[in-house]
Amino acid sequence: MANFGWSYPAGCRSTPYDEPAGPCDVCGQDVDSDACICPECPECGGCGDSRCYVPGKCGLVRSPEQLQARADAEAAWKAEADAERLAFELDPPETW
Ligand SMILES: [Zn+2]
Ligand SMILES: [Zn+2]
C-alpha cells in the first residue's frame, strides 16, 4: 500500500518541545522545512497567514505558484485520507 510521507506513529515521534508547525495555511507546504513559498506580508510581517489574503485586509494576493502548491498539497492530503480510510475499512481495529 502506498504510504504518503508523514504518518506519525503513536507516541514516539513528537515531544512537547518539538511541535510540528503544520502545513502553511496558504500554500499548504511544510512551514518548518522552508517548503512554504509565501512571501512575507508587508503589512503585518506574517508569512503564510491566510488572513493576509482576505480582501480588505493586508492586500496580499495568492500567486499561481501558491495556488498550485496548495492544490498539490490538498491532493496529497486527500490521497492520504483515502488510503487511511481504505485501510480502516479493510482492517478495522477491534477497539476504537
Ligand atoms: Zn505558504
Ligand atoms: Zn498581513
**Cα of 91 to ligand 1 centre, how many Å?**
36
Ligand 1 is an ion; its neighbours by CB within 5 Å are: 24, 26-27, 36, 38, 48
The reported pLDDT for the residue numbered 68 is: 97
94 band by pLDDT with thresholds 50, 70 and 90: confident
Separation CA 24–CA 6 (nearest Å) = 15
For the chain, the domains span 22-88
Angle at 9 between CA 8 and CA 14, to 5 degrees: 60
Separation CA 71–CA 41 (nearest Å) = 21
**Cα of 61 to ligand 2 centre, how many Å?**
11
**Cα of 41 to ligand 2 centre, how many Å?**
5
pLDDT of 26 strictly over 70 = yes
Ligand 2 is an ion; its neighbours by CB within 5 Å are: 41, 43-44, 46, 52, 58
